[in-house]
Structure 1
């Protein structure tokens, strides 16, 4: 009987390697022929054309990344807003107050609004203090007694009192005046109307009584006052 021969594993492995190498070579040749075919069909490309294509691809990739980043940022903002509106279930279970979550942007906005409100209140308080100071100054000017009085001026507390004193002072030098009170009242009325308009423009905010006090003091020294026109 012939002797049974065993399988040579090394030779078998060598044949398999040669077969695989041959198949790989044929595959490379096929790919090379295919690429050569497409290059011939498209025509030769310059280096600048290839660079433009690469730049266009990079710009497209960058735009896609920016769009994706914007989408993720918007999604995160929506999730934060939803979380702020959603009540805290743990606090509700323990019976505590339900406090909505507040984002950092919301906190910054509230702080800015509070700062603006405080500044406005401080400005309003400063204006009120300024108006009060001006009013007090006006009142001080009105109420301070005039210590530099002229002795030649006839003093009177009212128009009627001034009429009596004018009549007494005018008797030696002036002819009898049958109605001195009419002339004095008319003169004072005209003087009061003119001075009242001036004082309201120069010193706004006073009461009518204060204006009249100031007008009376001006009237006592005014050359329009008939009492000041009496010759000694």
Structure 2
């Protein structure tokens, strides 16, 4: 039978420790090599920038803490003042006008001004209408005043044709012989109308053509240019 070899436990343990130490050294060397690589890659400027960023971050954090502390102190002070302040009854009775009420008041003032201007315009228009009507009534009154000295001698007629017919039956003062009295009367009336119409339009603007013609006919009935009035003379 072959001879059984004995195992040296201490030697095995020593070899294991040696292997572990060598492996640790290799790992450490690899880490150092990697760190050196990244340091060289970053360069001096990158390290300085990193340092500045860290300092700025620390300052920002400190400023935030300081601001928060100040806010809490102010809040606490406000609560103390509110608790110590006595209620003002007079202030409660007086209402402070808001911006919306100011806007509403401005709108109301604007509407009142618009209404006032509208009433003024309406009053002016009504005054003009009344004046025009008064002028027309006065004109009618003047035109329709009876001439007592000539009333009996005037031949009444409502149109030129009616006047021609009445001229033929005047008994006391017959017209001179005229072969075409209607032509002469119409021509005279036409000339009278053309002369008076512009005057009436200037004196009484705004009337209708029918109203102007009615006025002209009333003037024609009293006019000395009317042949019917000449018959009675």
**Alignment TM-score, normalising by the size of structure 2:** 0.48
Give the TM-score normalised by structure 1: 0.48
Greater gyration radius: 2
